[in-house]
Every structure is written in C-alpha cells, then in structure tokens.
Structure 1
Amino acid sequence: MAETQYTEDNIRSLDWKEHIRMRPGMYIGKLGDGSSADDGIYILLKEVLDNCIDEFVMGAGKTIEISIQGERVIVRDYGRGIPLGKVVDVVSKMNTGGKYDTRAFKKSVGLNGVGTKAVNALSAFFKVESTRDGKSKSAEFEIGELKNEELLEETARRRGTKVTFIPDESIFKKYKYRNEYVERMVKNYVYLNPGLTIVFNGEKFHSENGLKDLLEDNNNAEDMLYPIIHLKGNDIEVAITHSKTQYSEEYHSFVNGQHTTQGGTHQAAFREAMVKTIRDFYGKSYDPSDIRKSIISAISIKVMEPVFESQTKTKLGSTDMGSGLPTVRTYINDFVGRQLDNYLHKNPDTAEKLQRKIMQAEKERKELSGIRKLARERAKKASLHNKKLRDCRVHLDNMKNDRRLESTLFITEGDSASGSITKSRDVNTQAVFSLRGKPLNSYGMSKKIVYENEEFNLLQAALNIEDSMEELRYNNIVIATDADVDGMHIRLLLITFFLQFFPELIKEGHLYILQTPLFRVRNKKETIYCYSDEEKREAMAKLSGKPEITRFKGLGEISPDEFKHFIGDDIRLEPVMLDKAMSIEQLLNFYMGKNTPDRQKFIINNLKVEVDLVEDNQL
C-alpha cells in the first residue's frame, strides 16, 4: 500500500474564527435551539453579560440593559467602556482582554479572553460600541469579519459599552430565545450582585438580600420548614432552609458570579460542612443523608483565580481561595461551622424544627432500608438486561465529552412508539426508556413506592438520581407520548412522579415534553410536517393545488425514517416549568387530587388535538 504523503501542505493553521466555528462546543457547550437553558444562544448572551457584571463588581455602572427582539440581542452597560484603541482587538483577537491584568479585574469570571470573540465568530451580525471620555468608537462584524469601524470624536452619549448581535442561523438552527430562561439568568446575576439593576425588555430586576431572595423566589413559603438562614462573610454567602415536601437535596452554587450547575469543590465542601456543624451542635452522629435530606440551599464564593473543569464553567475544580489563603474546603468549613452554630444557638425554634426533621428522615430511612436493598438488587439484575432501557454512549457525567449536554432520555409508552424512536435515535446521545401502559399515580405516596414499583425503581436507576442530582446521567429527560387523552394522562402521571420525588429535575430545567407533528402535508416535490392547525393551513397554501394530508394519531404510526426528523436537528421540545406562585403540594393536589372536573377542563384546554378527538374520548 502506498504511503500517504505528510508534508508542510498538510499542516493547516486555523484562524481564530474558523477554530471557533468548527468546534463551537468547545467554547459554548451544546448548540440547541433555545428550548433548553444551557443552549448555546444563552451562553452567547451570558458571555457578553459577564463583561458587564465585571464592570459593576469593579464599581463602574449600576445598571445593565438587555433587549431581545426576535433574533437581535442588545446588551448595554454604563461601565468604564473598552479603551477605544482596543475595541476591535478585544472582540476579535484571541488572548486579548483586561482580565489578564489582575489590577483592573479582581475575582472576575471571564479569565480566558475568549467570551466575546466566540460571540462574534458565531454571530451573523455583531456590533460593539464603546463610549468614554466624550468619544465613541464602534466596530461592525459579520461572522467575525470586520466590515466597518467608526470613531466619533465628540458624543453626548453616556460612557459604557453596547453590544448587539444576531446568532448565526447556520449554526443555531431555528432558534428562539425563551424569556423564562433569560429571566432566570438575569435573576441569578442580581441575587449575586445586590445593588445591581438589570432591565430586560423593559422589566426591572433588582435584589437587596442576595441568596435569601434566590431561595424565596424559587420556592413557595408554605413549602419551607423554617425561615431562611442567611449567612454572609468575606467572599462567601450562604442561604439555607429545608423543605416540608421534597425528598431530595437542592443546591444552587456560584463562584465569582458564575452559576456552577455541576457543583464542584465548593459545593462538596458545603455539604460536608453542614453535616459536621449539625452533628457538633446536637452532639449526635446523625447520618449525613438524614441531615441533608430536603435541604434547599445556595452558596456563593469568590476565589482569586478559579479553575473550572470545562470552558462553560459549570463545575469548579479549584481547591484554593487564592495565594496565601486557606483551601476552599477549610474556608467553607470554618465559616459554616462558626456562623451556622451561632445561628442555631440564637434561634432555638429553628434548631428544634431542624432536629425533628432529621429524626423523621432517620425513621423513614430505616423503614426503607430493607425495601431499598431488595430494590437495588432487582435494579442491578435488571440493568444487566434492562428491557426497558436502550442506553446511549455519552452521558451528562462524562465531564470530558463535549457532547455530554446533548445526552437525552426519551420516556415512551408502548412498543410501537419505543420502536420508532429506538430505530431513528442517535445512539451516541439519545437513550429510550419504555413504559408498559400507564405508570402508577404516585400522588400522596411515600418514597417507599419508588422502590416497590418496578418501573419507577428502574427509571430512578436509569437516571442515577437516588441519592443526589450530582450523578444525573442525562441532561434532557423527554416525555414522548401520543398527543391524545391517554398520552396527556401519562404525561401528568410522570410529571406527578417527578414533582413528588425529584422536583429539582423540573426546577433545574431537565424535564421536557416532546412535540410531535399532528399532520404531514406533501406533494410530489415537498413534505411539510405541521404541529398545529395553523401550520397545516400555511403548508396547504404553500403547496398549492391538492396536497396529500395525513393525520398522525399516535407516535407508533410514524415510521422510523420520518421519526428521525422529529428527534434530530429539528426536534421541538416544550420545557416543563414550575410556577412559584403555587406550592408543590397545591400543584400536585390540582393535577392529581380529587378535583376531577377542574383537571378534565385543564387537560381538554391543553390538548393539542382536534376537538372531535377529545369529544370521542371523554375523560
């Protein structure tokens, strides 16, 4: 066999734009279409916002304005403004930025100098304007190529920086910004920066009480066991309460204003510190899981030079607070040990409620231990030949894999639907879990049922969330049922299961409903899949004449060849979100309690099917 030539011609040096565009996942995680909070379009916004936040932290500018109209995003701060001579370099030259100079930016987030360059390279249009000292400089780019720059020697504009960008649709397919996700990001920024105001599409967001506000805004007061414990120190802030209703542990953790959704050193240290402090306070060696069961908490720390385990900075790897300072673990242990102990001494009512909660958790755990052991053995046997799970290769906990955020588990009902998805899925990132008929209504039941019911036990094992969310194996959990009355009921039963036992899966935006087309409209040249009557009318107008119209009654009717369109690049997911105005208890009671007429009305109003179909299948 002839030897392949390997000469200078084979060595290719990519310029900065090409590298980012060829490997966007290295810089912004997954691409996505905006239906998930960690999709690339939100990371682009975050990268621009991080620079504005760093200005606020340095004492420059108290207001940030964000406008998102369709595809166009505008972010304006009133900070110091980029030095005018460097406006082009800062957004288009790698390793250029003020963060390399520790005097100008202490404890900042964006230390890699890549952020706005990635936004520029991945945007069809990108414009930066900087105003300082009565002068203004602007530069316009298309896909990272400089198209125009302008200097105004005199301007009445207020100082600061304004960035406008339109993500490139050839990279982010059919994307759309969801206000709920942008609002959540904005709220996290204001909780971490009391005194900062962010105006998003005309609505003001501001926080005076930091992480205490975060817990209050994410939870209904009726779900809390005791008033929030709010502790603040140098470079650290903590907020803690326990839930009356949820079983699992919930942590919101941050480093230098960065939301570390994957936790890391600081979160592990905080969990450890909680256990040690509470054991010392009560003088009893309670089991760690009993102390932490139902905890709802937030921790934010500031570190001199943080080391993250990925470019998107979702997990802290650093062990030090900074040169000459103690380790993250020692620092957090000392702070929680001292401050939480003081708080419990001063607030005996909270201390008593907490101890009762721990003892109750201990009692439940002991009652469960036998069942748990049996269930684990069953799950172990089943996972060796788990008929319900067709697994994929890449999982969320593979920190080194740049496709981990795409990992998806489809929960389907019936063999035909499971078969179609299984045959058309991407075996690298998409797994399928098949239900046999309707799952059990778990409303009002104890955790015992999760172990006693084989399907629930296997689903819990597949997700790997028995003890905590940290080992969750799939980033997206997608309920894929027919768009009819039975399908809607199965959705509700599954949402009830997650709400009852694992609400943070929903709170953290991991749970979705798969939207599948109701109609196929086609002629000899083109096929259009329609998700509503309106889309069907548009398709019929587009394919004039007499196009053929097929109505899909169930997922099983859609062939695997067609199905791959609906779970591939064009997948449409509807996120399941919690309404803070309703406590989880009220929500479960509404969906699954005894108020059947209300629920029937809700299901009928929310079914995306024709009215006659609902009337034929009265609930």
Structure 2
Amino acid sequence: MAKQAAYTEDNIRSLDWKEHIRMRPGMYIGKLGDGSSPDDGIYILIKEVLDNSIDEYVMGAGKTIEVSVKENTVTVRDFGRGIPLGKVVDVVSKMNTGGKYDSRAFKKSVGLNGVGTKAVNALSSYFKVQSIRDGQTAFAEFSAGDITANEKAHDSSQRKGTKVTFVPDKEIFSKYKYRSEYIVKMIKNYVYLNTGLTIVFNGEKYFSENGLKDLLEENIADEFMLFPIIHLKGEDIEVAITYSKAQYSEEYHSFVNGQHTTQGGTHQNAFREAIVKTIRDFFGKNYEASDIRKSIVSAISIKVMEPVFESQTKTKLGSTEMGGGLPTVRTFIGDFVKTNLDNYLHKNPDVAEKIQKKILQAEKERKDLSGIRKLARERAKKASLHNKKLRDCRVHLNDLKKDNRLESTLFITEGDSASGSITKSRDVNTQAVFSLRGKPLNSYNMNKKIVYENEEFNLLQAALNIEDGLEDLRYNNIVIATDADVDGMHIRLLLITFFLQFFPELIKEGHLFILDTPLFRVRDKKQTFYCYSPEEKQHAINKLKGKPEITRFKGLGEISPDEFVHFIGKDIRLDPIMLDKEMSIDKLLEFYMGKNTPDRQKFIIENLKVELDIVEE
C-alpha cells in the first residue's frame, strides 16, 4: 500500500491578493484568450477600468472619457472627481477597498466588490494610476501587482479626474492582440446606455442621443425593419423593440446598470414574458409565445440596487429583486411593458396590424413545419445515441457553475481524416468535434424547413442547441476547421451562409471563427517551427542553420494528432467572423451566394492577388 503523504500546517498556504488573481485569473476575468473573441480577458481588463469611469459619469462627474489603445498599452482617462489622493494605492491594490460600498455615493453601480482594478493591476506587467483633484495630483506604478513607484500629492494644473494606463502581462496572456472592432462595440454600448456621454477612442468620438434606439439601428438596416423602432423609457428602465423581415430567430441585447449581460438572466426572461403577455392581452388571443417572439429584435436596460450576477464577469443577472423598495424584477418589467407597450399599440394601430400579420405568418410556418420538425427531432435524438458526427466535450457554455465554460468550443470539420486528428488531440473537457460528410448544402434563399429536412444542418442545430434562440447555446466558440484549399474555402462559405441565413445572432455576438492552421513546418534535428505564412516560413529558415526540412501542409488530415495539439491548445489561432455594419446580411448573401455569377467574376478579377512562394518548390 502506498505511503500516505503527511498533511501538516506546512501544507496550508495563504495567497496574497495578487498571487491569487494571477494563479486563478479565470475567477476574475473569465477566459484568457488571445483577443480573437469579444469575451477574452484583455477586453475584460479594459471594461473593468472603464466601468469605474462610467460610474463617475452616472454620478454626474465628467461627460467625456478618453480611451487609447496603442499596440498593447491601454490608457483610460476620465474627468470625474478623481480618487481621493491618500487612497490611490489602496484602491488598486487592496481587496475589498472602494467607494462603492458606500451606497450613498454609488447607488446603481456595476463594480460593487472593489475587485476590478485590482485584477487589472495584478494581471498587468505595467500599471499606473494617477488621480487629479483639488488642484493636486498623485500617482502610483505597479508591475504584476507589486508597487514600483509612488509619488505623493503635489500641485497640478491638470483637469480633475483619474487616468489609468496598463499593459496586459505576456506571462498571463501569451501572444495576444487587441482588435479595435470589439473595443468599438463595447464603447458604443456604453454610450447607448449613457446618453450625453462622449467616449473618445483613439481620436474618434462616440456619442448617442437616442440610447437603445440607436443600438437597434446599428444592428438592423432600415429596409429590414418591419416597423420603426418602438422606444420606451421610464425610471430605471428603457426598452426598444422592432421585428426583422430577414431573420428567423429572436435577438435580445440586455443590460443591467450599464453592464452588457450577454447571457441574459432574470431581466431578459421577464422582458420576453412581458412582451408575450402584453401582445396576447392586446389582441385578446392566446398566441403561441414562439410565434409572438419570432424575428423580434429588441433591447432592454434596467438599473438595480446592488445586482447579483452569476459570475465575476457579470454576463448573467441572477437578481430577482430591484431593491430600494421596488417590486421584483419580473413584476417591475412586466408592469412597465404592459402599460407602455399596450399604450403604444393603441396609439399606433398600423404597427399593431403588422405585428399581428407577422404572428399569423409565424404560426402558419410553425404548423407547416410541425410534422417535419417532429421527425427531425426524433432523428436527432436517435442519432445522438450513436452519432459519429458529434464527439462531445464535458463542459458546455450553459453549465453556469463551470469556471471554464467560456472555453467550450465546437470544431466543425470536413472528412474523417481531419476530424480524426482533431478528435485525438483535443481537450476532451472543453473541445467537441462535429464532422461533416462532404460539402454542406447551399442554403441561400431557402426557408427554415431546410434546417429540419437536411440531416447535417438539423444535427448541427441540435448539437448547438439553438433551435429556440441563443439562451442555451452549448458552445461559446464555434470554429470552422477546413483545409486552406479551394474546397475548404467553399465549405467555409457554405457554413457561414447557413449561419447568416438562419442564426445571424451567433455571428453578431462573436461566437463564429475560422481555425487558422499552419501552411508549413520548418525543422532541423533540434528545433521545429510551424509557419502560418510565407513570411513566417522565411523567418524560420533564417533562424535554423544549414538546410532545414520544409513540409507544406496541403490539408488538415496530413497533420498528425501529436502535432495538431499545438494548433488547438493554448497557442490556438482563431480568425473571428465579423459583420460589417455597412453591409446588410441579405445583400451580402445575394452577392456571394446568389445567381449573379458575372458580377462575382468581375469582383474576383479586380481584387485578385497573386501570392508568391505559397507552394513549396
């Protein structure tokens, strides 16, 4: 029998605040990532600092916030009241220290636990905080949470406020890169929720006059709105509602105290219920909830006293109470929507008529689909018992109690050889594989029926669990992993078409990616380099002496599982699929997937680039 290890006082160890954050960063900022996904840690760091500046604005201090991101250096400067000068060090380096415990100063704040800036400090190789107030300034500098400089208060003629500069630590975040598209989206959400606030990002100003109405206009083109946006505001609540002519699914943008709750929560559930109840009561008909909500595009923002979120990154609201003597979240939202939406529909009968027509159309489509849907569900259920297509993982995005749920990933692969390599080298906890058989169908201009009739699309929808919306999406990252050849590119295009046509919110919410795999392997007896471009290949050749062995990977199936583990592990490279707001989904699909072949040929010829040295001589 093995000898049992001694368990004494020496085994008990207390970590100080910064050690704990650096050892368990996921508890504080969710997943680390590399900047390819909007919920990667480097964006959470910006958000944590920005939240403090937003809270200053909410309290009536400072109408402008300046944000700059140059390479890996982030600076956030507000013109609020400034941190009390004697507490500049404590506020960013002592846990559970902050002004928001005093609820008189911050009634409906986002960052309540005094953790945010401490996490940013601990996870940065360089961190500087400067406060200016009462004609004086003081600053402190840190590295990985350790103080390196501390200048006491002295006279200053600068405008009052707080300035924070930080560089995320490469020991924690390896090979990361900021993508301005994600930062701009975050900033736009802040200004939509705080009308009157200006945020300047790298010299460009962002400002909103109409709040959530502006947010919806950003997300849906005028020509695809069923009717102009219904915009309703009250104390502690704001909602915006329209329907899309071009999308099947429900789309919600929900916020609590200015925090984007991407996973929804009690407020979003209450909002969905309230819309259904109000519309049923208005028409006096017991319409199906799914028919009422089909194609809805909407947003809700509420303010709650001391909100309870289901994780430190605050993506899902758990609170059932509004606080401050108000009724429950459900009752508060239900009463507001009932009164205000009902009034609006009475005053705008043309809008009410369009909604009713949309509901009846959804009802007809649902009934037409009911038989095939039932068959498809049975097929999916049977397939899941002995389905070779999906090799599932253990942790899923809708497992709210799992710390690593944001790492849950589904690789969509082509053919058995590629899926075999990924399956053998994946992390079985967080990485699942869905294997396609040949090329998927071109779903452009087809209706939802095709999702149920086509076995692969139906099984993919079932694997993702998105038939009724994103609420219970099973994977945070959906990664298309195809060969970097013409066939692989075509499969990518067909899959992106499928998601754009039926589940565009997956792309809008930043869940869809392309897996970047190496084109070359350059090695000698001592070192191996995997190169993603001819430039990287040349760089590797220059590093190795003599004549190295160079292999050109023509397909994923050629890469052995032992090697594949390098490309889907901590050094995974993902290219996010992003929508350009200037281009509507319908026009995009029509151009690339429609019957306008001469237009596409002309576009290809005019934009053709010849890549030299891409194939190994």
Category of TM-score, reference length = shorter chain: over 0.9
Q: Which residue of 2 aligns with 1:379?
A: 380
Question: How many angstroms apart in 2 are the aligned matches of 1:233 and 1:544?
Answer: 70
Q: Deviations over 1:161-202 (max 9, x none)?
A: 000101011111100000000000000000000000001111
Question: How many angstroms apart in 2 are the aligned matches of 1:396 and 1:604?
Answer: 42
SS of equivalent residue, structure 1 residue 36: coil
Superposition deviation, residue 603 in structure 1:
6.9
1:30-179 matched pairs, under 5 angstroms? 30-179=31-180
SS of equivalent residue, structure 2 residue 488: helix
Question: How many angstroms apart in 2 are the aligned matches of 1:522 and 1:98?
Answer: 56
Q: Which residue of 2 aligns with 1:251?
A: 252
Superposition deviation, residue 151 in structure 1:
2.3
Question: How many angstroms apart in 1 are the aligned matches of 2:288 and 2:363?
Answer: 8
Count of residue correspondences? 614
Give 1:90's aligned amino acid.
Answer: V
Q: Deviations over 1:119-148 (max 9, x none)?
A: 001111111000101111100001000111
Identical pairs, percent: 82
Q: Which residue of 2 aligns with 1:617?
A: none
Give 2:148's aligned amino acid.
Answer: K
* Deviating more after overlay: 46-55 vs 10-19: 10-19
Question: How many angstroms apart in 1 are the aligned matches of 2:589 and 2:244?
Answer: 15
Q: Which residue of 1 aligns with 2:12?
A: 11
SS of equivalent residue, structure 1 residue 482: coil
SS of equivalent residue, structure 1 residue 565: coil
CA separation of 1:185 and 1:447: change in aligned 2, threshold 3 A: same
Q: Deviations over 1:275-294 (max 9, x none)?
A: 01001111111100000000
Q: Which residue of 2 aligns with 1:216?
A: 217
Q: Deviations over 1:66-104 (max 9, x none)?
A: 111111111100000000000000000000000100111
Superposition deviation, residue 384 in structure 1:
0.9
Instruction: Determine if the alignment matches structure 1 residue 456 to structure 2 residue 454.
Output: no
Superposition deviation, residue 598 in structure 1:
4.2
Contact 2:220 2:244 in 1 (8 A): no
* Deviating more after overlay: 480-489 vs 4-13: 4-13
Give 2:420's aligned amino acid.
Answer: G
Contact 1:135 1:151 in 2 (8 A): no
SS of equivalent residue, structure 1 residue 566: coil
Contact 1:249 1:295 in 2 (8 A): yes
Give 1:30's aligned amino acid.
Answer: K
1:486-497 matched pairs, under 5 angstroms? 486-497=487-498
Instruction: Determine if the alignment matches structure 1 residue 280 to structure 2 residue 273.
Output: no
Gaps of 5+ in 2: none
Q: Which residue of 1 aligns with 2:202?
A: 201
Question: How many angstroms apart in 2 are the aligned matches of 1:173 and 1:609?
Answer: 32
Question: How many angstroms apart in 1 are the aligned matches of 2:441 and 2:41?
Answer: 37
Q: Which residue of 1 aligns with 2:298?
A: 297
Question: How many angstroms apart in 2 are the aligned matches of 1:289 and 1:604?
Answer: 45
SS of equivalent residue, structure 1 residue 166: strand
SS of equivalent residue, structure 1 residue 442: coil
CA separation of 1:152 and 1:562: change in aligned 2, threshold 3 A: same
TM-score using structure 2 length = 0.97
Question: How many angstroms apart in 1 are the aligned matches of 2:85 and 2:441?
Answer: 64
Contact 1:421 1:432 in 2 (8 A): yes
Give 2:373's aligned amino acid.
Answer: R
Contact 1:488 1:603 in 2 (8 A): no
Q: Which residue of 2 aligns with 1:585?
A: 586
Instruction: Determine if the alignment matches structure 1 residue 470 to structure 2 residue 460.
Output: no
Question: How many angstroms apart in 2 are the aligned matches of 1:289 and 1:609?
Answer: 50
Superposition deviation, residue 582 in structure 1:
1.7
* Deviating more after overlay: 357-366 vs 539-548: 539-548
CA separation of 1:470 and 1:58: change in aligned 2, threshold 3 A: same
Give 2:539's aligned amino acid.
Answer: E
SS of equivalent residue, structure 2 residue 499: helix
CA separation of 1:559 and 1:4: change in aligned 2, threshold 3 A: closer
Q: Which residue of 2 aligns with 1:511?
A: 512
Give 2:261's aligned amino acid.
Answer: T
Q: Deviations over 1:564-592 (max 9, x none)?
A: 11111111100001112122111110111
CA separation of 1:195 and 1:170: change in aligned 2, threshold 3 A: same
Q: Which residue of 2 aligns with 1:335?
A: 336
Question: How many angstroms apart in 1 are the aligned matches of 2:27 and 2:178?
Answer: 21
Give 1:83's aligned amino acid.
Answer: P
Q: Deviations over 1:531-562 (max 9, x none)?
A: 11222222222224322211111111111111
Give 1:96's aligned amino acid.
Answer: T
Contact 1:417 1:555 in 2 (8 A): yes
Q: Deviations over 1:436-456 (max 9, x none)?
A: 000001011110000000000
SS of equivalent residue, structure 2 residue 565: helix
* Deviating more after overlay: 428-437 vs 596-605: 596-605
Q: Deviations over 1:460-486 (max 9, x none)?
A: 000000111100000000000011111
Contact 1:60 1:80 in 2 (8 A): yes
Give 1:552's aligned amino acid.
Answer: F
Question: How many angstroms apart in 1 are the aligned matches of 2:610 and 2:114?
Answer: 49
CA separation of 1:463 and 1:242: change in aligned 2, threshold 3 A: same
Question: How many angstroms apart in 1 are the aligned matches of 2:602 and 2:413?
Answer: 25
Give 1:148's aligned amino acid.
Answer: A
1:475-486 matched pairs, under 5 angstroms? 475-486=476-487
Contact 1:485 1:607 in 2 (8 A): no
CA separation of 1:188 and 1:367: change in aligned 2, threshold 3 A: same
Contact 2:407 2:430 in 1 (8 A): yes
Contact 2:65 2:77 in 1 (8 A): yes
1:318-467 matched pairs, under 5 angstroms? 318-467=319-468
CA separation of 1:370 and 1:461: change in aligned 2, threshold 3 A: same
Give 1:317's aligned amino acid.
Answer: G
Superposition deviation, residue 528 in structure 1:
1.3
Q: Which residue of 2 aligns with 1:552?
A: 553
Superposition deviation, residue 527 in structure 1:
1.4
Give 2:464's aligned amino acid.
Answer: L
Question: How many angstroms apart in 2 are the aligned matches of 1:561 and 1:13?
Answer: 38
Contact 1:483 1:608 in 2 (8 A): no
Give 1:545's aligned amino acid.
Answer: G
Superposition deviation, residue 269 in structure 1:
0.3
Superposition deviation, residue 350 in structure 1:
1.1
Contact 1:532 1:608 in 2 (8 A): no
How large is the Cα RMSD of the aligned pairs? Answer: 1.6
Question: How many angstroms apart in 1 are the aligned matches of 2:148 and 2:373?
Answer: 64
Q: Deviations over 1:187-239 (max 9, x none)?
A: 00000000000011111110010000000012211121110000000000000
CA separation of 1:272 and 1:461: change in aligned 2, threshold 3 A: same
SS of equivalent residue, structure 2 residue 317: coil
SS of equivalent residue, structure 2 residue 311: coil
Contact 1:483 1:607 in 2 (8 A): no
Question: How many angstroms apart in 2 are the aligned matches of 1:613 and 1:166?
Answer: 35
CA separation of 1:263 and 1:609: change in aligned 2, threshold 3 A: farther
Give 1:137's aligned amino acid.
Answer: A
Question: How many angstroms apart in 2 are the aligned matches of 1:573 and 1:21?
Answer: 24
Question: How many angstroms apart in 1 are the aligned matches of 2:355 and 2:480?
Answer: 36
Contact 1:33 1:174 in 2 (8 A): yes
Gaps of 5+ in 1: 615-619
Give 1:198's aligned amino acid.
Answer: I
Question: How many angstroms apart in 1 are the aligned matches of 2:490 and 2:205?
Answer: 38
Contact 2:21 2:123 in 1 (8 A): yes
SS of equivalent residue, structure 2 residue 566: helix
Superposition deviation, residue 529 in structure 1:
1.2
Contact 2:534 2:613 in 1 (8 A): no
Contact 2:34 2:174 in 1 (8 A): yes
Question: How many angstroms apart in 2 are the aligned matches of 1:604 and 1:8?
Answer: 73
Give 1:524's aligned amino acid.
Answer: K
